[in-house]
Structure 1
Amino acid sequence: MKISSFIRQKKIEWLRWRIKRNRVWLNYAMNTYNRIAIEGRWDYSTLQLLEWRINRYDNKILLYKAKIVYLTEEEMSKRNDEE
């Protein structure tokens, strides 16, 4: 295995770990939002902050998934060029 391929694989592993981590935070923010909405103890700024966090974690997950796709496609194109 070449060094660049090894580094790419480690980046992909790290990105997958970050996706799992951000899913945990996303679930926590969504549960908090739902709990506050059900109990009726909310004000506009609190809900706005929670919506911002939910969108932030969701966008991070999408970004990491896109990076994984890019890295795997880059790896496949390099393999095809070598053949």
Structure 2
Amino acid sequence: MIKPLNIINIIFSFILLFLFSNLILSSSSDTTNIFSFLFIFIGLFQVYIGIKLLNSKRKILSTATFMLSFFFLSLVGIKIYLNI
């Protein structure tokens, strides 16, 4: 049976993908700042979900959550640092 925390994790993964594509494609600095703020907030929330999943029996899912969220957060950090 799928737990609600796993469903939230999947939904936030798709939201992160959507925000990342908008962040890459946007050229306006205001839009980039808004998307990067949302991106970092949702990414940190996904790290929190990953920590909650560590206590469950689904270690693979929590590891995947950590890898995805840190990957996306690092990409946003690189984009902000390089100001692409």
TM-score by length of 1: 0.60
Please give the alpha-carbon distance, in whole angstroms, between the structure 1 residues aligned to 2:17 and 2:41.
Answer: 12
RMSD: 1.8
Per the TM alignment, residue 71 of structure 1 is displaced from its structure 2 partner at its CA by 4.2
1:69 aligns with 2:54: yes
Instruction: Indicate the structure with greater helix content.
Output: 1
Please give the alpha-carbon distance, in whole angstroms, between the structure 1 residues aligned to 2:41 and 2:16.
Answer: 9
Matches within 5 A, 1:23-34: 23-34=13-24
1:22 aligns with 2:12: yes
Structure 2: segments with no counterpart, 5+ residues:
58-84
- Give % identity: 7
Aligned AA (1:26): L
SS of 2:53's partner is helix
Please give the alpha-carbon distance, in whole angstroms, between the structure 1 residues aligned to 2:54 and 2:20.
Answer: 27
Structure 1: segments with no counterpart, 5+ residues:
1-8, 73-83
Paired positions, count: 57
Per the TM alignment, residue 60 of structure 1 is displaced from its structure 2 partner at its CA by 1.3
TM-score by length of 2: 0.59
Aligned AA (1:62): V
